[in-house]
């Protein structure tokens, strides 16, 4: 006889998504999430640092992929070229599962606490990319600027892609938005 079903983390993620959709974020308690997942509230907090974190489970993987993309970019590439490569990777990873992403994003946009968490995750991405650029020999301010510019592109492109009724490839949107950024900043 099993003492507990495996995969508690995944079940908690599912349950949380469902409940956040059904009643909203503040209206659902951790106890309810845990109950639906068949575990205790205490177990919830062993899998996720807090009630918000459950919506941002994949972000560590994304960060890792982005920093890898920085490291693996051609040595002669300019900082913005590296950032473009990073955006391509990000677009590939974020641009799957439009419907699910859209649902998740609508939860986040309805709750400032969740937006805060999302913003700090994105800030960590930017910081990670900047650090990677510095390790490639890019001077610190230039690295930070390139990374922040990339973040600007990502935010705008992703926002448009999520809210689009007929979304194309997010990577394409990223490239177009990067081009638009170049045009805007040049004016």
**Residues at the site binding DNA, with contacts judged by CB under 7 A:** 1-4, 6, 8, 28-31, 34, 38-43, 45-47, 49-52
- Per CB under 8 A, contacts with a copy of itself among 112-151 are 112, 115-117, 119-120, 123, 141-142, 144-146, 148-149, 151
Cα–Cα distances (Å) from 185 to 123, 130, 178, in that order, read: 21, 20, 11
The answer to whether 107 contacts a copy of itself (rule: CB under 8 A) is no
> Shortest gap between Cβ of 3 and DNA (angstroms)?
4
75 binds, among a copy of itself, DNA, none (CB under 5 to 8 A by kind): none
The answer to whether 163 contacts a copy of itself (rule: CB under 8 A) is no
Q: Which of 34, 86, 153, 170 binds a copy of itself (CB under 8 A)?
A: 153
> Shortest gap between Cβ of 101 and DNA (angstroms)?
23
26-56 residues labelled b (16+ CB within 10 A) or e (exposed): eebebebbbebbebeeebbeebbeebbebbb
Instruction: Write out the H or E segment, with its range, that includes residue 183.
Output: helix 170-186
Look up residue 92 and give its two tokens.
Answer: 């590939």
The answer to whether 54 contacts a copy of itself (rule: CB under 8 A) is no
Please count the CA atoms within 13 angstroms of the CA of 16 that sit on its side-chain side: 27
Closer residue to DNA (CB): 13 or 171: 13
Let me know: does 92 contact 157? Beta carbons within 8 Å.
no
How many other β-carbons are positioned within 10 Å of the β-carbon of residue 79?
22
At residue 33, the 3 state secondary structure works out as helix
Closer residue to a copy of itself (CB): 37 or 144: 144
Binding-site ranges for a copy of itself (CB under 8 A): 78-81, 112, 115-117, 119-120, 123, 141-142, 144-146, 148-149, 151-153, 155-156, 159-160, 177, 180-182, 184-187
């Amino acid at each position: 006889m099993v003492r507990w079903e495996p995969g508690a983390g995944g079940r908690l993620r599912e349950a949380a998504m469902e409940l956040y959709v059904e009643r909203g974020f503040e209206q659902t308690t951790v106890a309810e999430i845990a109950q639906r997942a068949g575990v205790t509230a205490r177990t919830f907090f062993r899998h996720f640092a807090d009630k918000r974190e459950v919506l941002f489970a994949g972000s560590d993987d994304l960060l890792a992929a982005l920093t890898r993309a920085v490291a693996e970019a051609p040595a002669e590439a300019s900082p913005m070229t590296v950032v473009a490569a990073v955006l391509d990777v990000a677009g590939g990873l974020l641009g799957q599962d439009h419907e699910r992403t859209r649902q998740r994003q609508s939860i986040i946009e309805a709750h400032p606490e969740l937006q805060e968490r999302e913003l700090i995750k994105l800030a960590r991405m930017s910081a990670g990319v900047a650090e990677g650029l510095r390790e490639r020999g890019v001077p610190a301010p230039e690295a930070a600027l390139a990374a922040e510019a990339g973040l600007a592109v990502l935010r705008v492109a992703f926002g448009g892609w999520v809210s689009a009724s007929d979304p194309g490839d997010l990577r394409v949107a990223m490239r177009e938005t990067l081009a638009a950024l170049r045009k805007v900043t040049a004016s």
